Chains A and B, each alone.
Chain A
Amino acid sequence: MEGEVAQLALMGKYIGAGLAAIGLGGAGIGVGNIAGNFLAGALRNPSAAPSQTANLFVGIAFAEALGIFSFLIALLLMFAV
């Protein structure tokens, strides 16, 4: 009985880690969206593009942060819990 509970907890841990990793897909969509829109804007007005690269990276960083949070949860489930 004890062993079964431990096995079940282990299974839940791995399933949870896998589910948490789905969050990274959202970050991927967000980063792709930002980069694509930046490129679309930059091709319309190439002369304004260099001044906006800082904003591009800040936007990517903010979008990516939330994906990294879910990655962190996955890592915690795998190695810390």
Chain B
Amino acid sequence: MAEGGFAIHPMDQFVVKPLFGGEHVEWYTITNVTLWLGIAVLAIIALMVIGTRGRAVIPSRSQSIAELLYGFIHNMVEEVTGHEGVKYFPYVMTLFMFVLVANLLGLIPMSFTTTSHVAVTVTLALLVFFGVTLLGLVKKGPAFLAMFWVSSAPLALRPVLAIIEVISYFVRPVSHSIRLAGNLMAGHAVIKVFAGFASMAVISPVAIGAVSAIYALELLVAVVQAYVFTILTCVYLKDAVGDAHH
């Protein structure tokens, strides 16, 4: 990188480091990614299991948050995928909670944003991709492939459209995962770039103000990207289970 640049390198925050000493990262090494993935899971358990343990008629604060999220995602699944898709609600809810909590934990200063790594998001996206493809082939059989044959288009155009449809189908896991990781990585890098400007005395008040403003924007991005990831899962799920004729 360029000499004499920033005091804080904007990409340093994404370095995967082993937690217990050493430099070498093997697949079984416990790293900061492992730690923050674990914290995300524990936070979800704390909110959804322990928070709703009381099952009070008048909910406590944590119970109403859990109920709000549950109702929100349940509505979304029912609206987007239709009645058939509600069966797969637990999976969609799990995805939403995981992405949301991982995004929000990444905003804690000095923490690690697990969802800014393509390795994490591509795992989620490929699970959705293979899950939806298998589900579609099992549920609809060969009729699932009719999705690529756009019967509303003129006959001469259909082979061309079929090629485009197949390509766009296989690009889905790429865009699904890169969108989440790219948004998170870009946002966090921008925060660190402005944090680097704060070391220059003349512009530091402006830089600190900018960091606060971008932090607020990132809070919005974290929630919106979790929502987008989930709603796209629902849209893909609709191809596999939804009925196009109704």
Contacts and interface: CB of A to CB of B under 8 A. Distances in A.
A69 B186 CA distance: 12
B182 A61 contact: no
Contact of B80 (A54, A69, A79): A54
Interface string B151-186: 000000000000000000000000100110011011
B232 interface: yes
Contacts of A54: 76, 79-80, 231
B8 interface: no
Nearest to B80: A54
B179 A57 contact: no
Interface in A65-81: 65, 68-69, 71-72, 75, 79
Nearest to A60: B228
B11 interface: yes
Contacts of A61: 179, 228, 231-232
A65 B178 contact: yes
A60 B80 CA distance: 16
Identify which of A61, A64, A69, A75 gathers the most chain B CB atoms within 10 Å of its CB: A61
A6 interface: no
Nearest to A66: B175
Contacts of A57: 224, 227-228, 231
A1 interface: no
B235 A58 contact: yes
Nearest to B11: A79
B80 A72 contact: no
B179 A64 contact: yes
Contacts of B231: 54, 57-58, 61
Contacts of B235: 58
A4 B91 CA distance: 55
B227 A68 contact: no
Nearest to B235: A58
Interface string A41-63: 00000000000001001101100
A58 B232 CA distance: 7
Nearest to B176: A65
A68 B175 contact: yes
A72 B182 contact: yes
Contacts of B227: 57
A65 B175 contact: yes
Interface in B173-228: 175, 178-179, 182-183, 185-186, 224, 227-228
A12 B242 CA distance: 48
9 contacts: A57-B231, A58-B231, A58-B235, A61-B228, A68-B179, A71-B182, A72-B178, A75-B185, A79-B11
Interface of B: 11, 76, 79-80, 175, 178-179, 182-183, 185-186, 224, 227-228, 231-232, 235
